[in-house]
Amino acid sequence: MGENTPFDEMYNADGSVREPYRALSEWLAEQPEKGLALMQADAEAIFRKLGITFAVYGSEEGTEKVIPFDVIPRIIAANEWRKLSRGIEQRVKALNAFLYDVYHRQEILKAGRIPEKLILNNAAFCPQMMGLEPARGVYAHIIGVDIVRVGPDEFYVLEDNLRTPSGVSYMLEDREAMMMLAPDLFQRSKVAPVETYPENLRRTLESVAPAGAGRNPVIAVLTPGIYNSAYFEHSFLADQMGAQLCEGQDLFVDGGKVYMRTTTGPERVDVIYRRIDDDYLDPLTFKPDSMLGVPGIFDAYRAGNVTLVNAPGTGIADDKAVYTYVPEIIEFYLGEKALLNNVPTYNCTDVEQRAWVLENIAELVVKEVHGSGGYGMMVGPTSTKAQHEEFKKKIIARPDNYIVQPTLALSTCPTHINNDVAPRHVDLRPYVLVGDEVRITPGGLTRVALEKGSLVVNSSQGGGTKDTWVLED
């Protein structure tokens, strides 16, 4: 589980520079005084002007912030990436196989490899999806896998995001900004491109168009609207792909098919990359009071007239309670050992494990089963006694509502802090596309906890992002 001292991605224990960071280290040394600070200011101006903002929930209405961007890139060596991407590919294939199975014969439940009740009584399980045959058998087309590094060769998957993972626009914009800010650094290194993502996304979406669609399927991105925290990303991706950015009111069903309202009348839509949660997608089938969705869209999907990406009900595969079974899932469907580790997870409904958890809470991380974005989460070592007690009470009251994991010593990367360079903890979210083939963008989004010692990297909790470089051989 890693040492107590976190793994430094740039420096070896003896102070020498690790190979992948050599060019960066030289470049850093050459920067004039305040050079990084100027670059940082430029970066912020670029982002704000482009309107790359996210809305912060709970703060004053309409408040938009620019997500902090760190000008020092995070670097992954070619061989490290090969290993990671093989593990990621294995994982997303197995999870899609699992989704197919639970919505068809449920062999894995019959075999007793996962408790039946955990799946069937799960809120994320969508009975309406039973028996549906999605194009190419793919349910989760767009996936973000959260990975942390704790040693030179040790990576852990923190969670899989199979619903509507966000952040990919930051990956692309970070690269864009980095290339504007430090072109000389790029010239010294062979960095794998990420700019292909929108094109790959388009290809992936086209490859899962329903049978009746023509050679050039019409693709729409469905957004909850401009007040959504990820609206910038929705419009950015639509723009980059050359797809139509739609709100629920722009789409309607007619004769079991989905159309958008254009200036010259209805136009048929074949594939919908929807960024609206399952519950709000279709008031006819899910939450009846939803104003965001499109009435009848799910029925049109069942009728095979449109493809929804990701499919409804994929949440059953990234549920925090199902997470612990992913190694089992990989073995069951692929007959292989998992290449990437899961973080050991304690089950609080088990009396013995719970007792141990309550005893050692100051060392552990507690997460709400259905929480996300760093909300409803407690990191033991950086929390107060009062917070420990509060979460103990919560666990005792609802043991099934929490999972508990050891506090991982997340690796650190050099980060620009107050015109100085200091190590800060990072994680990594690579983005995966699954359609006619599995496409993994080299790198992903590196999130960095800007506060010293903090392990919480979420942007809603003061985290920033870095451009992520995968070096080519």
Q: What end-to-end distance do the CA atoms of the chain give, in Å?
A: 29
Q: Binding other proteins by CB under 8 A: which of 37, 50, 179, 417?
A: 50
Q: Binding other proteins by CB under 8 A: which of 239, 336, 359, 363?
A: 239
**CB of residue 310 to other proteins, shortest distance in Å:** 17
Query: In this complex, which beta carbon is closest to other proteins, that of residue 296 or of residue 463?
Result: 296
Query: In this complex, which beta carbon is closest to other proteins, that of residue 306 or of residue 348?
Result: 306
**CB of residue 130 to other proteins, shortest distance in Å:** 4
Q: Binding other proteins by CB under 8 A: which of 15, 58, 112, 265?
A: 265
| Residue 174 near residue 167 (C-beta atoms within 8 A) | no
Angle, helix 326-334 to helix 78-102, in steps of 10 degrees? 80
Q: How far is the C-alpha of 456 from the C-alpha of 445, rounded, in Å?
A: 15
Count, residues near other proteins per rule CB under 8 A? 58
263 is an interface residue for other proteins by CB under 8 A: yes
256 is an interface residue for other proteins by CB under 8 A: yes
- Single out the segment in contact with other proteins by CB under 8 A; choices: 43-51, 362-370, 401-409, 451-459: 43-51
Q: Which residues have CB under 8 Å from 258's CB, separation 6+? A: 251, 252, 268, 269, 272, 294, 297, 300, 305, 306
Binding residues for other proteins restricted to 371-400, rule: CB under 8 A: none
**CB of residue 79 to other proteins, shortest distance in Å:** 39
Q: How far is CA 130 from CA 99, 180, 313, in A?
A: 10, 49, 10
**CB of residue 394 to other proteins, shortest distance in Å:** 23
- Single out the segment in contact with other proteins by CB under 8 A; choices: 46-54, 155-163, 338-346, 348-356: 46-54
Which residue in 212, 276, 277 sits closest to 247, CA to CA?
Answer: 276
- Single out the segment in contact with other proteins by CB under 8 A; choices: 44-52, 272-280, 422-430, 461-469: 44-52
Task: Provide the mask over 292-331, with x wherever binding to other proteins is found by CB under 8 A and - wherever it is not.
Answer: ---xx--xx-xxxx--------------------------
Q: Which residues have CB under 8 Å from 241's CB, separation 6+? A: 198, 199, 201, 202, 205, 219, 221
- Single out the segment in contact with other proteins by CB under 8 A; choices: 92-100, 205-213, 247-255, 426-434: 247-255
432 is an interface residue for other proteins by CB under 8 A: no
Q: What is the largest CA-CA distance in the chain?
A: 69
Binding residues for other proteins restricted to 118-177, rule: CB under 8 A: 120-121, 125, 127-132
Torsion of the alpha carbons at 299, 234, 376 and 91, rounded to the nearest 10: 70
Which residue in 391, 289, 402, 299 sits closest to 345, CA to CA?
Answer: 402
Q: Give the Cβ contact number of residue 49 at 10 Å.
A: 9
**CB of residue 129 to other proteins, shortest distance in Å:** 6
What does DSSP assign to residue 336?
S
Q: Binding other proteins by CB under 8 A: which of 15, 58, 112, 288?
A: 288
| Residue 346 near residue 404 (C-beta atoms within 8 A) | yes
- Single out the segment in contact with other proteins by CB under 8 A; choices: 3-11, 98-106, 340-348, 429-437: 98-106
**CB of residue 295 to other proteins, shortest distance in Å:** 4
Query: In this complex, which beta carbon is closest to other proteins, that of residue 50 or of residue 421?
Result: 50
115 is an interface residue for other proteins by CB under 8 A: no
The residue behind tokens 């890693």 is 2
Query: In this complex, which beta carbon is closest to other proteins, that of residue 152 or of residue 242?
Result: 242
Cβ-based burial of 317 (10 A; exposed 0-12, middle 13-18, buried ≥19): buried
**CB of residue 303 to other proteins, shortest distance in Å:** 4
Which residue in 210, 296, 208 sits closest to 251, CA to CA?
Answer: 296
Q: How far is the C-alpha of 273 from the C-alpha of 276, rounded, in Å?
A: 9
Q: Which amino acid is at 439?
A: R
| Residue 408 near residue 156 (C-beta atoms within 8 A) | yes
Binding residues for other proteins restricted to 204-233, rule: CB under 8 A: 225-226, 231-232
Q: Binding other proteins by CB under 8 A: which of 3, 26, 267, 389?
A: 267
- The contact set with other proteins (CB under 8 A) reads 49-51, 104-106, 109-110, 116-117, 120-121, 125, 127-132, 225-226, 231-232, 235, 238-239, 242, 244-247, 249-250, 252-257, 260-265, 267, 283-285, 288, 295-296, 299-300, 302-305
